[in-house]
């Protein structure tokens, strides 16, 4: 290694040939001096910008992936990835982070460290979404050499903490949300990830953080929500996840969902896509009728039952799968309310009111009142599609037999 701090940095970014702008154009001496001082305690350094065909044990012979610089000093190599100059889209501003982590993590050299450095000159690097990403980065092992706010990011300690933060971060534009974290009835942690476009970067980082928290005590199930010809997670991310050896990767496309639908019996359907669609519409698991938030006992309850969809004669298999996995055809219910709903002891009307069957013994009614805090579904449920599923379900019920709470 080097006796004097030595920066070795790939000069060209992916689009440098088209734009004429290089990574060297974005870094100044003051930033490199600050980084060197903070990492090594020295302000004197050597900097080598190298071309695409350069390679060594830390850098491959390609363009600069991950907006990455290496600083070699003593026995250590320090990987430093940099922010964009302009913070624009929420996903585009962090695309380089998983790539840099992948290069660092897969490097076999043991004496290595990982850092992040802000060089942004415009935009807002401290939105709620960015702060969530910084907490993920802190969790997987990034050290921030500078920070855009007075309070630095803190690591996630538990996956439940991540789940709460992710749900709070949903915002009003659900199209921005590509990855959801949950826990199933068997107590297993699950990640539901869209794996194309900018989504794949967020998905990778969330899975790395979950793996870091959980260690080797148990496995995480990663459901890749594939659509059409859109690809799975990048190979570099899959290699990291396999090396971590804590994540079971399950690819879920239409063929996978069809097989699950055809193999299921009765109203049971353990569909990853249905879970994803409910998380996408409704957020973190919570019973719509009592507010319970213990994810282990919260289930996705179909409005138009799976058995009824399966029995429908004039519907193609593709459409049956679409109805059975539609997020509008369901709500989160705790185990108690799910059983009450499946047995038609309670029913939901098209206006969202919740009623119970008049034949329920009088002795049980006080318990039902205590159990059911919410007897009117909020507006987030009540779109036209949801109401249509309610009508399909209630065709076989006698609405006059149900009374209000």
Mean of the pLDDT values across residues 155-175? 78
Residue 21: Cβ within 10 Å count: 13
Same domain? For 126 and 17 the reply is yes
Distance CA 199, CA 361 (A): 51
Same domain? For 18 and 150 the reply is yes
Q: What pLDDT is attached to residue 172?
A: 44
Residue 321 lies in a domain: no
Same domain? For 138 and 12 the reply is yes
Same domain? For 51 and 183 the reply is no
Same domain? For 138 and 20 the reply is yes
Same domain? For 82 and 192 the reply is no
* Helices 199-214 & 128-140 angle (0-180, nearest 10): 50
Per-residue pLDDT band at 95 (split at 50, 70, 90): confident
Q: What pLDDT is attached to residue 170?
A: 66
Sheet of strand 189-194: strand arrangement: 179-183, 189-194, 220-225, 247-252
Domain boundary among the residues 128, 154, 180 is at 154
Per-residue pLDDT band at 217 (split at 50, 70, 90): confident
Residue 243 lies in a domain: yes
In sequence order, which ranges of 272-396 are alpha helices (DSSP H)? 272-282, 306-311, 317-324, 335-342, 365-371, 384-394
Widest CA span of the chain, in angstroms? Answer: 86
Top pLDDT among 167 and 320 is at: 320
Top pLDDT among 114 and 232 is at: 114
Q: What pLDDT is attached to residue 202?
A: 84
Residue 324 lies in a domain: no
Question: Could you tell me the CA-to-CA distances from 59 to 50, 66, 184, 388, 399 in Å, in that order?
Answer: 10, 11, 41, 57, 69
Same domain? For 12 and 129 the reply is yes
Per-residue pLDDT band at 173 (split at 50, 70, 90): very low
Q: Which residues on adjacent β-strands are paired with residue 78? A: 71, 113
Mean of the pLDDT values across residues 309-320? 94
**Who's near 105: CB < 8 A, 6+ residues apart?**
240, 243
Q: What pLDDT is attached to residue 253?
A: 86
Q: What pLDDT is attached to residue 54?
A: 96
Give tens-digit pLDDT for 50-92.
Answer: 999 999 999 999 999 999 999 999 999 999 999 999 887 666 6
Same domain? For 95 and 222 the reply is no
Domain boundary among the residues 196, 229, 252 is at 252
Same domain? For 163 and 141 the reply is no
Top pLDDT among 216 and 32 is at: 32
Q: What pLDDT is attached to residue 215?
A: 82
Give tens-digit pLDDT for 242-285.
Answer: 999 999 999 888 889 999 999 988 888 889 999 999 999 998 89
Per-residue pLDDT band at 207 (split at 50, 70, 90): very high
Residue 191: pLDDT above 50? yes
Q: What pLDDT is attached to residue 201?
A: 79
Domain boundary among the residues 104, 120, 154 is at 154
Residue 174: pLDDT above 60? no
Contact 331, 377 (CB under 8 A): yes
Same domain? For 77 and 164 the reply is no
pTM of this structure: 0.86
Same domain? For 164 and 36 the reply is no
Q: What pLDDT is attached to residue 151?
A: 83
Name the token pair of 210: 């979950």
The number of folded domains in the chain is 2
**Residues spanned by the domain of 70:** 6-154
Give tens-digit pLDDT for 335-393.
Answer: 999 999 999 999 999 999 999 999 999 999 999 999 999 999 999 999 999 999 999 99
Give tens-digit pLDDT for 283-302.
Answer: 889 999 999 999 999 999 99
Q: What pLDDT is attached to residue 92?
A: 66
Query: How many CA atoms are closer than 13 Å to the CA of 286, on its beta-carbon side?
Result: 14
């Amino acid at each position: 290694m080097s006796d004097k701090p030595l920066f070795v940095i790939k000069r060209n970014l992916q689009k440098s040939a088209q734009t004429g702008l290089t990574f060297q154009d974005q870094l100044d001496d003051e930033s490199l001096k600050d980084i060197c001082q903070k990492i090594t305690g020295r302000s004197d350094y050597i900097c080598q910008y190298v071309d695409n065909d350069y390679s060594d044990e830390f850098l491959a012979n390609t363009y600069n992936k991950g907006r990455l610089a290496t600083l070699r000093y003593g026995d250590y190599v320090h990987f430093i990835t940099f922010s964009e100059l302009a913070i624009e889209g929420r996903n585009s501003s962090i695309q380089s982070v998983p790539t840099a982590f992948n290069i660092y993590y897969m490097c076999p050299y043991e004496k290595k460290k990982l850092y992040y450095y802000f060089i942004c000159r415009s935009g807002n690097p401290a939105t709620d979404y960015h702060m969530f990403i910084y907490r993920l980065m802190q969790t997987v092992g990034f050290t921030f050499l500078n920070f855009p706010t007075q309070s630095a990011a803190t690591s996630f300690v538990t996956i439940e903490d991540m789940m709460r933060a992710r749900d709070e971060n949903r915002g009003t534009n659900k199209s921005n949300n590509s990855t959801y974290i949950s826990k199933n009835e068997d107590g297993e942690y699950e990640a539901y990830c869209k794996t194309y476009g900018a989504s794949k970067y967020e998905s990778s980082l969330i899975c790395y953080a979950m793996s870091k928290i959980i260690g080797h005590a148990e496995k995480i199930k990663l459901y890749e929500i594939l659509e059409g010809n859109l690809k799975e997670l990048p190979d570099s991310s899959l290699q990291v996840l396999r090396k971590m050896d804590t994540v079971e990767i399950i690819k879920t496309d239409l063929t996978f969902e069809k097989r699950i639908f055809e193999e299921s019996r009765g109203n049971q359907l353990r569909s990853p896509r249905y879970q994803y669609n409910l998380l996408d519409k409704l957020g973190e698991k919570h019973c719509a009728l009592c507010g319970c938030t213990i994810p282990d006992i919260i289930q996705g309850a179909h409005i138009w039952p799976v058995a009824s969809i399966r029995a429908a004669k004039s519907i193609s298999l593709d459409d049956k799968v679409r109805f059975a996995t539609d997020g509008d055809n369901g709500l989160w219910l705790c185990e108690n309310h799910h059983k009450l709903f499946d047995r038609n002891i309670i029913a939901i009307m098209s206006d969202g009111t919740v009623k119970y069957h008049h034949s329920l013994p009088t002795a049980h009614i006080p318990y039902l009142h205590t159990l059911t805090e919410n007897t009117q579904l909020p507006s987030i449920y009540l779109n036209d599609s949801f109401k249509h599923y309610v009508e399909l379900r209630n065709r076989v019920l006698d609405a006059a037999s149900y009374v209000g709470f």
